């Protein structure tokens, strides 16, 4: 199935590395112009240079509202409109029992994983998506579906994002569609924090016999953004090599 994004414009938060970079690459390859964001300039600059002139970048903490507003204004100036938003930036700063979670980490997790996707959706909606329409994809996690020993509050924020996806799908239709991709374990910097012994156990629980790649997730996001998914909204698309259906252990 060929996905066409010719002439479309997008913002991908957390687009400098990992899954977000691959989503940006996929969109640019299919004809879109993309603004990527993230906190570190060097990584953004390198990714934008690799993707070519259709990829612009702005440094911005995802949950910093004034900075996010400036990014959206920049995209509007550069593109004239924003057709797609990919809320991909996410963080997982705790590795331990949820009962021990410290307040600053809870605040960070909630702000970046749960509040920021709503903030960015508000901004693109008000910038014109409510008039010309568009599509939003939130990057959640299969962790939202099951308790894990060490990433409980991260999972809770992703479960909230699954809910928000359905809520906004209902609120923003028919102008905009809102869907989510829920990855299983994908080999990126974020997943590198998982100890080797645990990785082996996780791999054993994946029927497809391998960890995901950023391209696996980007393909799903690209489809959900595209017109091919024109009657699809409020859906959370699990992309996990079969781990959930096989009852495999979820990371963390
Ligand atoms: N990898 C997995 O196995 C996996 C599984 C399920 C779900 N996910 C989800 O997939 C998404 C992408 O994960 P990934 O594995 O690709 O992570 P990654 O390789 O660590 O990349 C994260 C991206 O987000 C940016 N970012 C992180 N915190 C940010 C913040 N506070 N403000 C703005 N940008 C921020 C990073 O750039 P800077 O650091 O420069 O800001 C980077 O561009 C996340 O939402 C994650 O929860 C990942």
Question: What integer pLDDT is reported at residue 193 of this predicted model?
Answer: 77
**CATH number of the domain to which 122 belongs:** 3.40.50.720
Within a domain: 101: yes
Task: Tally the C-alpha atoms within 13 A of residue 229's C-alpha that lie toward its C-beta.
Answer: 26
Residue 154 bears catalytic tag: yes
Can you tell me which residue has the tokens 């409020």?
234
Closest ligand 1 atom, residue 43 Cα: 40
Residue to probe by mutation, ligand 1, list 20, 90, 117, most atoms within 8 Å of CB: 90
Give the residue ranges of the chain where pLDDT is below 70.
Answer: 248-249, 251-252
Within a domain: 247: no
Closest CA to 14 of 74, 69, 58, 72: 58
Within a domain: 1: no
Question: What integer pLDDT is reported at residue 85 of this predicted model?
Answer: 99
Q: How far apart are CA 118 and CA 113, in angstroms?
A: 10
Q: Are 226 and 220 in contact (CB under 8 A)?
A: no
Please state at what angle helix 116-124 crosses helix 152-172, rounded to 10 degrees.
20
Closest CA to 243 of 206, 204, 202: 206
Closest ligand 1 atom, residue 16 Cα: 43
| Residue 91 CA to ligand 1 centre (angstroms) | 6
| Residue 168 CA to ligand 1 centre (angstroms) | 22
CB-count exposure of residue 162 (10 Å: 0-12, 13-18, 19+): middle
Each residue's pLDDT tens digit, 233-252: 999 999 999 999 998 667 66
Q: For residue 139, what are the domain limits?
A: 9-239
Within a domain: 4: no
Closest CA to 46 of 33, 36, 61: 36
| Residue 172 CA to ligand 1 centre (angstroms) | 26
Question: What integer pLDDT is reported at residue 189 of this predicted model?
Answer: 85
Within a domain: 250: no
Asked if omega into 126 is within 30° of 0 (cis), the reply is no
Residue to probe by mutation, ligand 1, list 190, 211, 241, 244, most atoms within 8 Å of CB: 190
Q: How far apart are CA 139 and CA 165, in angstroms?
A: 10
Closest ligand 1 atom, residue 217 Cα: 10
Instruction: State how many domains the chain has.
Output: 1
Q: Which residues line ligand 1 (CB under 6 A)?
A: 13-20, 38-40, 43, 61-62, 88-91, 112, 139, 141, 183, 185-186, 188-191
Within a domain: 170: yes
Considering just the CA atoms, what is the radius of gyration of the chain in Å?
Answer: 17
| Residue 238 CA to ligand 1 centre (angstroms) | 17
Within a domain: 59: yes
Within a domain: 56: yes
| Residue 113 CA to ligand 1 centre (angstroms) | 10
């Amino acid at each position: 199935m060929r996905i066409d994004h010719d002439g479309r414009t997008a913002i991908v938060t957390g687009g400098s590395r990992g899954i977000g970079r691959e989503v940006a690459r996929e969109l640019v390859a299919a004809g879109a112009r993309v603004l990527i964001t993230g906190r570190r300039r060097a990584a953004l600059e390198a990714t934008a240079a690799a993707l070519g002139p259709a990829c612009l970048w702005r440094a911005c903490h995802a949950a910093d509202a004034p900075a996010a507003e400036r990014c959206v204004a920049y995209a509007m100036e550069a593109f004239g409109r924003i057709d797609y938003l990919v809320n991909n930036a996410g963080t997982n700063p705790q590795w331990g029992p949820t009962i021990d979670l410290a307040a600053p980490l809870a605040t960070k997790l909630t702000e970046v994983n749960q509040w920021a996707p709503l903030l960015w959706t508000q901004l693109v909606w008000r910038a014109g998506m409510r008039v010309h329409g568009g599509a939003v994809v939130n990057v959640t996690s299969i962790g939202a579906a099951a308790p894990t020993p060490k990433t409980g509050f991260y999972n809770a924020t992703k479960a909230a994002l699954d809910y928000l996806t359905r809520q906004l799908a209902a609120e923003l239709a028919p102008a905009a569609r809102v869907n989510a991709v829920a990855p299983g374990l994908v080999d990126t910097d974020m997943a590198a924090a998982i100890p080797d012994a645990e990785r082996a156990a996780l791999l054993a629980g994946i029927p497809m016999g391998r960890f995901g790649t950023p391209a696996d997730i980007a393909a799903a996001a690209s489809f959900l953004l595209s017109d091919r998914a024109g009657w699809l909204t409020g859906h959370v698309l699990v992309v996990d090599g079969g781990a959930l259906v096989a009852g495999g252990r979820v990371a963390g």
